[in-house]
Structure 1
């Protein structure tokens, strides 16, 4: 038997390196995060009702499009609290852009969409692995459909070609992990508008909640409460969230983190 899953994917932050945000100043994000909301095909039909349940908490909001950045702190906590009780998985890959500036590959990552595609690969490696293992527990195989939130300036055809290149084993440098191509067919990828797909709005909450715990705001502060509220929804590998439900690039031992960021990682990764 085949178990079907859907992963809705959104991002938080930007790819730019021109002027990274510093304390007391505005600028481009210091992190780029790509995240997903993963549901079984059976539960996918309930996703709009989850979004509506959240919006019913904010009766004064005229715009019924759920978007993390338009919610205040209390509304964000409330939204995460609702989703923490739903049968949905979270997977986020977060790149510390500052570490790329002195990298030998910096000129590559400066090119349009290269960092984004790089994170897509990491994300899909983890999602396909999690879906395969979830289905295998019942003796089944898994199939995954992907829905990306439409992103201005992104060439999704180029991204599909990149995925096919990996599928066909034509990468110059082979990754440590790989996307499970028995689970994902690049043809099962769609791109839709955030405003019309509740699943993309849920993915936005998950990705932005995680980014808030890692990417300091213009005052130099992070806010881990949103992600910690959702802690039990992050997918795990060997009972650990780190490098599965939450992956840092570079890995934690090489990623410069503040004491606040380290405390968040330690807390969310508790067994």
Structure 2
């Protein structure tokens, strides 16, 4: 492990599935843009990174993939995806994700956020903020339980470079939030990024091919995305998410609103049809002790 990585206590690897563009979805009949956008990632302790790599490599080997090959969810068949998801379901990390149904975002505006955020990256920045609010709280509570003093360099964030992502696109936004946090002037008080464990300069961008943590995060967001019904995806599959649920994070004993965040928050009223049923099924999954407690039974190969 290199020295630059060892100074951090936790790493959040972030990837996305779907696209974050809202303009292309203004027409209900348009199926060129995804109906959903998923932003999520895995949090790993620095000391657990070798085990995370081993889990990913073991899953790839069991799936029959050549050693050292870059692993991408979308390039694999169903059985290989399921094998690797089952292996990651026993991994040394916790995952978080924010799920946005973009149709219900069309009338939503946050003028304060837009004023310091690149317009084309508004949704990405907003969802990354929601993600960091929960991840920084998780890291702070972990430190408190271990009676360890928190430090602003505890958490580094590594974003997947999916093309066109630049640090200035979100740097001003999170720097402004940092200033508001320390001055007590944060506009939205319901959720706060805990900057006692995180400093905005500790956000980095890498291609998936260079970070195995990003390849693992790809399986998280892709599994979530694959379970969501939409015009461009006629056969959603939930079994990948079921395999990964043992590693989903919780706060205050709850997964919904913590490890899994649905946007808009009033999804029970604003969604309908297949979209509503898919989120209801998520609620059933997170309430299942069988799926949310790590067990060696998940280590069996899928048939």
1:104-119 aligned at under 5 Å gives the runs 111-119=119-127
Q: Who is 1:151 aligned against? A: 162
Cα RMSD (Å): 2.8
Cα displacement string for residues 176-197 of structure 1 (whole angstroms, at most 9, x for unaligned residues)? 1100000101122211110111
Cα displacement (A) at 1:31? 0.9
Cα distance between partner residues in 2 of 1:213 and 1:60: 24
2:53 maps to 1:48: yes
TM-superposed CA distance for 1:49, in Å, is 2.2
TM-score (norm 2): 0.80
3-state SS, counterpart of residue 119 of structure 2: coil
Q: Distance in 1 between matches of 2:202 and 2:109?
A: 34
Deviation at 1:156, TM superposition (A): 1.3
| C-alpha deviation, 1:238, in angstroms | 2.1
Residues 84, 113 of structure 1: alpha-carbon distance in 2 compared, 3 angstrom cutoff: same
In 1, Cα distance between equivalents of 2:210 and 2:192 = 31
Give the whole-Å Cα distance in 2 for the aligned partners of 1:57 and 1:21: 43
- For the residue of structure 2 that corresponds to 1:243, the secondary structure is coil
Which of the residues 62, 67, 77 maps onto 1:57?
62
Deviations 1:128-147 (Å, cap 9, x if unpaired)?
00111122111113411111
Whether the aligned pair in 1 keeps the contact of 2:10 and 2:43 (CA below 8 Å) is yes
CA 1:80–1:217: 2 relative to 1, 3 Å: farther
Change (3 A) 1:23 1:130: same
Q: TM-score scaled by structure 1? A: 0.88
- 119, 122, 139: which one aligns with 1:131: 139
Distance in 1 separating the partners of 2:80 and 2:144: 38
1:222 corresponds, among 228, 236, 246, to: 236
SS in 1 for 2:21: coil
Q: Which has the higher helix share?
A: 2
Structure number with higher relative contact order (C-alpha < 8 Å, ≥ 6 residues apart): 1
Q: Name the structure 2 match of 1:211.
A: 225
- Count of aligned residue pairs for this structure pair: 269
Aligned to 2:271: 256
Q: How far did residue 151 of structure 1 move?
A: 2.7
1:226 Cα deviation after fit: 0.8
Hey, what's the Cα distance between the residues in 2 that align with 1:27 and 1:62?
36
User: Does the CA contact (< 8 Å) of 2:24 and 2:30 recur in 1?
Assistant: no
**Matches of 2:27 and 2:241, distance apart in 1:** 23
Matches of 1:33 and 1:260, distance apart in 2: 17
How far 1:96 sits from its partner (Å)? 0.8
Q: Is the 8 A contact 1:23 1:219 kept in 2?
A: no
Indicate if the aligned counterparts of 2:8 and 2:156 stay in contact, CA closer than 8 A: no
How far is 1:58 from its partner? 3.3
Q: Deviations over 1:144-165 (max 9, x none)?
A: 1111111311221231221110
1:27 aligns with 2:32: yes
Quick one: distance in 1 between partners of 2:92 and 2:244?
A: 12
